[in-house]
Amino acid sequence: MANWEGLDAAFAELEAECANVVRGMTVEIFKTAVTWSPQSKGVFVSSWQYSLNRPVYWSNPFYADIPRETFVKGNQPAINEAFQINSDKDTPFKLGDTVYISNGAEAVSYTHLTLPTIYPV
């Protein structure tokens, strides 16, 4: 006869571990989007949002009056601000949630190609 004692606890532990792995993957995707985004004024990079179950379109007003070409891809001030604004937004994540990585800033395009700035993960 099989012993089923502790099975509920084992499944709960497995579910929590899987949720933590998936959450970590989405955070890494967010960090990559922020870090590798093109920069000119810092508005686009600093406006990235990590949200659960609905997209958030927000444009960071702090960088609005900074002259164009102040920053280039990889400059830290706007990247750090995006990370700070979104810190701990991933902690209520649970399996079944939809993670959105979105941006409400107007993207500057040098190729005249408009790319979507919403990425459900």
pLDDT of residue 39: 83
Indicate whether 2 belongs to any domain: no
The answer to whether the CB of 35 falls within 8 A of the CB of 80 is no
88: left (phi over 0), alpha (psi -120 to 50) or beta: left
Range of the domain at 51: 7-120
Taking residues 9-28, report their average pLDDT.
Answer: 93
Q: Say if 107 falls within a structural domain.
A: yes
Specify the number of domains making up the chain: 1
Residue 82, in any domain of the structure: yes
The predicted-structure confidence for 29-85, as pLDDT tens digits, reads as follows 999 999 998 888 888 999 999 999 999 999 999 888 888 877 777 788 999 999 999
- For residue 87, what pLDDT band results from cuts at 50, 70 and 90? very high
Determine, yes or no, domain membership for 99: yes
- Given a cut of 80, is residue 104 above it in pLDDT? yes
Domain assignment present for 33 = yes
Cβ neighbour number for residue 91 with a 10 Å cutoff = 8
Residue 109: what pLDDT?
54
CA 51 from centroid of its chain's CA atoms? 7
Residue 1 belongs to a domain: no
Residue 19, pLDDT > 80, answer yes
